[in-house]
């Protein structure tokens, strides 16, 4: 079964681009919520992300993973593939 991967982004955010590049390299299908300038969407994201308002915010099977640094750290540790 394939994991449900969701990522909240801002279109020009370099960290968002880097996180999406990692997912693309792993050939992971993901749902992207580009929330450029949408304060309501950002509030909804922060509610899901335990108050985190920075971008990106990544969820795998509704589990909050964190942002760009966290997903890359999980990849370096060999822990991201089992989640996907």
Angle at 20 between CA 58 and CA 24, to 5 degrees: 120
Residue 58 or residue 1, greater confidence: 58
Domain span including residue 61 = 5-83
Q: How confident is the model over 5-57, as pLDDT tens digits? A: 999 999 999 999 999 999 999 999 999 999 999 999 999 999 999 999 999 99
Q: Is pLDDT of 1 > 90?
A: no
pTM of the model: 0.95
Residue 19 has what pLDDT?
A: 98
Section 54-63 average pLDDT: 97
How does residue 58 score in pLDDT terms, banded at 50, 70 and 90?
very high
Question: Distance between CA atoms of 17 and 63, rounded to whole angstroms?
Answer: 21
Q: How confident is the model over 21-35, as pLDDT tens digits? A: 999 999 999 999 999
64 forms bridges with which residues in the sheet?
Answer: 59
CATH code for position 51: 3.40.30.10
In terms of Cβ atoms closer than 10 Å to its own Cβ (0-12, 13-18, 19+), residue 41 is middle
State how many domains the chain has.
Answer: 1
């Amino acid at each position: 079964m394939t994991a449900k991967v969701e990522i909240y982004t801002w279109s020009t955010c370099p960290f968002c681009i880097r996180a999406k590049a990692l997912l693309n390299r792993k050939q992971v299908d993901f749902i992207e919520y580009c929330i450029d300038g949408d304060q309501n969407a950002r509030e909804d994201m922060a509610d899901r992300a335990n108050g985190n308002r920075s971008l990106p915010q990544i969820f795998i099977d509704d589990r909050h993973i964190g942002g760009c640094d966290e997903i890359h750290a999980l990849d370096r540790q060999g822990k991201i593939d089992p989640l996907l």
